[in-house]
A = this chain, B = another copy of it.
């Protein structure tokens, strides 16, 4: 049954966005069109429950006897634009990070949350189990305030502290660096590939078919999630870290670097084959050397990129569709470990949009 109001609504929206467009030109203070959001909200999904032995006594509330503890769930904040595209995008952060990865950039521009909302996608920004707003962990942990930010500055390839890389796509103000360092939040339980991929798989049960964006540490459990859940229809992985999984018997030799040794993991060929059924694109940024170096931060990424290429070859050998894009090779220079938040992040979003369009995912 056709709903006549749908057409009226569509026309009104077109008019409204035209007016909004003119408004933006007329008033410099409103450079962007408003976001028109049909629904937004948050929920938790997945996780486990423990119950302490005994019987709860309401007169002794501080005793655990008979009480429950829910933890290891995932937290998601979602936004659905009017007339969303077919597939929502689930955006998954990396190590030490949380949903903010995809929100406002450290220098105050729009991140992939807003950019892909503007392009008509529903977005689900997550905090993985034991991180950020999904902090209730089933396993006890000590949270230590360890000074480590110069390590991250280097590891995230902004530069070699205190120098910025020449031409780096990163604003050099003190204010930006302050926001960048404060965009981290600790694990509230040990990082566990299975716990976090179970959480994201539970999310895909709820969203239905969708696209998974991963960053860094999210990359490895991202592959696992696609194996666990057929609702993952594609993966866009930004700078996946060290967790690459190969079929038993095809695991390549570890790749040493001056930071650590990148080791591949084995899984059954049956499970591996799930990864050959979806399009996957992997992006790496700039300032990753071709040859071994004694600078740990740079060298760790040389080893990871090398392993990513071996993994691409393994998946494609079995009929898969994995592309590794090393951005400088296609003429895009200066990207850090966070291409989706770098100064050229709209250009990066355009690359992703082209991929989604080519794979008929939009």
Chain A residues near B (Cβ < 8 Å)? 3-6, 8-9, 12-13, 15-16, 19-20, 22-23, 26-27, 30, 32, 34-44, 47, 50-52, 56, 58-59, 61-62, 64, 66-71, 73, 75, 77, 82, 98-100, 103-104, 108, 110-111, 114, 127, 132-151, 154-155, 160-161, 178-179, 181-186, 188-189, 258-259, 294-297
Contact = CB atoms under 8 A, between A and B. Distances in A.
Nearest to A141: B143
Given A16-B12, A42-B103, A297 B61 contact: yes
B189 A154 contact: no
Contacts of A136: 145, 182, 184-186
A69 B149 contact: yes
Contacts of A27: 3, 5-6
Nearest to A77: B103
A111 to B, nearest CB: 8
Nearest to A82: B34
B98 A151 contact: no
Number of identical monomers bound together in the oligomeric complex: 2
Contacts of A20: 9, 12
Contacts of A135: 132, 135, 143, 185-186, 188
Interface centre among A8, A12, A137, A144, by most B CB within 10 Å? A12
Given A4-B26, A5-B22, A141-B142, 6 more contacts: A8-B23, A41-B114, A44-B179, A58-B295, A73-B182, A186-B188
Nearest to A71: B145
Contact of A61 (B34, B77, B154): B154
Contacts of A99: 133
A98 B133 contact: yes
Nearest to A133: B132
A96 to B, nearest CB: 9
A111 B47 CA distance: 23
Contacts of A188: 135, 143, 185-186, 188
Contacts of A138: 145
Contact of A9 (B19, B104, B179): B19
A182 B70 contact: yes
29 contacts: A6-B27, A12-B15, A12-B19, A30-B38, A32-B38, A35-B35, A35-B40, A40-B114, A41-B103, A47-B182, A50-B145, A52-B147, A58-B150, A58-B161, A58-B296, A58-B297, A61-B151, A61-B297, A68-B149, A75-B100, A135-B143, A135-B185, A136-B145, A137-B143, A138-B145, A140-B143, A141-B143, A143-B188, A145-B189
